[in-house]
Amino acid sequence: MKDVIRKLAELQKGYDKIDEGDKGIKNNKDISILNKIKKEFQELKLRYIEKKNELEKVKNSSADLSNQIEIQKEDLLKLEDKLYKDCGSDLKMISKCEKEILNYKETINNEENEYFSLMEKEDILSKEKDELKAEIVNLKQKFDDYKTEASLRLAESKMKIEEGKQIVESLEKEIPDEVLNIYNSLKRQKNNPIVLVKKNVCLGCKIKLPKMTITKLNEGKEIIYCDNCGRMIYLPEK
Ligand SMILES: [Zn+2]
């Protein structure tokens, strides 16, 4: 009978393995975590595109402004030329020309200031864009690493189930039908129908067993059940 009990305990281990694998799959949070990373990734990507567009706009404005400044500088040169060549001693014309030159210079000066602040903005945006890009690369790496780990975890759970099934299948052939029937009917009520006894305590219900039961257990002639919870009980191998 000791041999049958040992096999039942092994059978239980097989079922435990299947349960462990099932739990690993059911309680798996990997997919929701991966989806969360994916969402974060999409949001970062959108922010990156926005930043890129903003940068593009600033670049275009500064290019336009730079062209405008060049044209105005040429106009200014023409005006200055006019002042020396065409105004002669016509004071009215000279004063008009000088006024116009001053206006031009002021406008150009303002535009140049604006141009520099655009350049500064461009620098900042460019830096921010690069930072977002680095964040995206990091997050992608994090996603890939996590995905690899997750598929390993899944494979491990599946393997546990497979191993458990094989243990159950092969032991079921070795255990006498009448014993197996008792085990299976107990299993319908309790997940662990066979448990160890340690220091005279049933590890299924944690209740101390009577001396009589322990004596019978030591004899090993028959299947012994816990007086309290009704599980099959067995002693650790010496
Ligand atoms: Zn018990």
Q: What is the pLDDT of residues 74-101, one digit of tens each?
A: 999 999 998 888 888 889 989 998 999 9
Whether the pLDDT of residue 177 is over 80: the answer is yes
Going from the N-terminus, what domains does the chain have, and what CATH number goes with each?
26-156 (1.10.287), 180-234 (no CATH)
Phi, psi of 64 (to 5 degrees): -60, -45
Can you list the alpha helix ranges (DSSP code H) found in the chain?
2-26, 30-85, 91-174, 177-187, 211-219
Q: Tell me which residue has tokens 């239980």.
A: 12
Residues 5-11: what's their mean pLDDT?
Answer: 95
Pairing mode of beta strands 201-202, 224-225: unpaired
Residues 117-122: what's their mean pLDDT?
Answer: 97
Tokens of 129: 């864009």
Tokens of 184: 């299976």
Distance of CA 10 from the midpoint of ligand 1 (Å): 19
Distance of CA 196 from the midpoint of ligand 1 (Å): 9
Written as one string, the DSSP assignment of 162-205 is: HHHHHHHHHHHHHS-HHHHHHHHHHHTT-S--EEEEETTEETTT
d(CA 209, CA 197): 9
The CA-atom distances, in angstroms, between 36 and each of 32, 39, 43 are 6, 5, 11
Position 237 confidence tier, pLDDT thresholds 50, 70, 90: confident
Q: What is the pLDDT of residues 35-60, one digit of tens each?
A: 999 999 999 999 999 999 999 999 99
Summary mean pLDDT of the chain = 95
Distance of CA 174 from the midpoint of ligand 1 (Å): 26
Query: In Å, how far from its chain's centre is CA 103?
Result: 60
Distance of CA 217 from the midpoint of ligand 1 (Å): 13
pLDDT reported for residue 51: 98
Distance of CA 114 from the midpoint of ligand 1 (Å): 85
